[in-house]
Structure 1
């Protein structure tokens, strides 16, 4: 998941430093993750988790650009920061850190929380068709009625990096010819963490080329068998006529 988020940052033009500056000798930074994931529909709940070593007892979560920590929780090894309902203000870059009684830790890696569903979904289509032959070129076209200048294409249930495109109202994504499913989102580059609702799921299906080898072999075998049977019948008929002819000659003699 962290690689996905880092790639998302780069696509949005928000590649940030991965750790805050800390005093010399400070403990290592904790780990931060988001449940159920970094893309949260507007109004849905989300939870940020911060985990440090056993000696950590005070955890702080901070949003980039905010002057004060968002909240604080005390626990033995990790802290839970629930958000009951995400809004435009929830979207942002977060990191966490802790205090072990003596020192402040370094900051965790930055994670992006993206709020989706603020605008109606774009459309996603496949050119020339979602049904493909092997090695056929295919392009996925994402269109938004809002003419946003940025688009994201995400492969469902895959480890591929999201593709990002900037244009006016439409983006074309060349993808490999493989059986897979995709969704796309659109947003304005000035608000890179506020996305539209996801497009409908588009499934690509690659049809394997039909193998005629087995069928042709069967037909050749049947044809050969018919020719053999016909040859046997002709031979038997010729032999029968010859035998009758010889029998008639013996009678005349």
Structure 2
């Protein structure tokens, strides 16, 4: 039986809504760890999943499987939830991701988060050659050593833990760095590992100082060597030169103005003196 115009209209609307719903894509959530993705053995850590305000449910996946689920609790915001791991162990270390649901739709997974447990092995030693002070543009090499038969090592810079460097070796690994810039200056630690998510205790820190030998004078402070900003900063030197030049120009202008005014006053003064002399002469009796 042929479809009536009304039936065709309803069918078209249904297909349009179905296509719109299937084509809708939710934004990808963001996952992060607090206080850090590096967690000492036995310590707690909180994983946060940040989605959208319309989210009705969040799920945390561990190594691809469902680990926990949470619903936003009013009156707080619904755009993020937290998942607490009360005790960090080698069993809870690994790769995590999160999802959220809005209506009948589930989001794409977040970018993965590698959660690492530290303190599983002895403490390695970290050194740097040719030394902890290096000139701008030179190269250095960090050496991380652990007596245990560790095959993988990681080098981290404090303040930028997400940018880890990996190296391999028997009991020791090398991390060449260079040519160094001011961005390489900072404090470094290294770890030994048997896998990507279970690391040793951190090494003692090693601080790399990058010096600019354009002007080698340094100012020693309680925290080490620092640059004298007046001597090291080219902008400060240029401002100082401009200031001195301006003072010289002002002084010269003042001298010229004073000389010009003196020249203008001089003829009037001589005329006044001559007139005074004439008046004095007329008062002398003949």
Whether the TM-score (by the shorter chain) exceeds 0.5 is yes
Using the alignment, how far apart are the partners of 2:70 and 2:162 within structure 1? 35
Q: Which has the higher helix share?
A: 2
Question: Aligned residue for 2:193?
Answer: 187
Q: 2:209 maps to which residue?
A: 205
Q: 1:208–1:25: structure 2 CA closer, same or farther, 3 Å change rule? A: closer
SS in 2 for 1:70: strand
Contact 1:57 1:77 in 2 (8 A): no
Aligned to 1:45: 44
* 2:84 matches 1:78: no
Query: 1:25, CA displacement in angstroms?
Result: 3.9
- Please say which structure displays the higher CA radius of gyration: 2
Q: Are 2:154 and 1:152 equivalent residues in the alignment?
A: yes
Q: Deviations over 1:160-193 (max 9, x none)?
A: 83221111111111223453221111112xx221
Q: Partners of 1:161 and 1:103 in 2: how far apart?
A: 34
| CA-CA distance at 1:27 after TM superposition | 2.4
Of the three residues 105, 120, 128, the one matched with 2:130 is 128
Inter-partner Cα distance in structure 2 for 1:160 and 1:98: 25
State how far apart, in whole Å, the 2-side matches of 1:87 and 1:129 are.
36
Q: 1:174 aligns with which of 176, 181, 192?
A: 176
Choose 24-33 or 88-97, whichever is displaced more: 24-33
Asked whether the equivalents of residues 147 and 170 of structure 1 are also in contact (C-alpha less than 8 Å), the reply is: no
Q: Which residue of 2 aligns with 1:142?
A: 144
State how far apart, in whole Å, the 2-side matches of 1:159 and 1:195 are.
Answer: 14
5+ residue gaps in structure 2?
Answer: 1-21, 73-77, 218-286
Cα contact 1:53–1:77 (8 A) shared by 2: yes
State the Cα RMSD in Å.
2.3
What is the alpha-carbon distance in structure 1 between the residues aligned to residue 201 and residue 116 of structure 2? 11
Aligned length: 186
1:63 partnered with 2:62:
yes
**CA separation of 1:168/1:77 partners in 2, compared to 1, >3 Å: closer, same or farther?**
same
Instruction: Indicate which of 105, 109, 112 corresponds to 2:111.
Output: 109
Structure-2 separation of matches of 1:171 and 1:45: 30
Give 5+ residue unaligned stretches, structure 1: 1-22, 213-253
The TM-score normalised by the length of structure 1 is 0.67
Matched, 1:89 2:94: no
Distance 1:157 1:138, change over 3 A: same
Structure 1 159/32 Cα, relative in aligned 2: closer, same or farther at 3 Å?
A: closer
Tell me, yes or no, if the aligned pair for 1:62 and 1:94 is still in contact at 8 Å.
Answer: yes
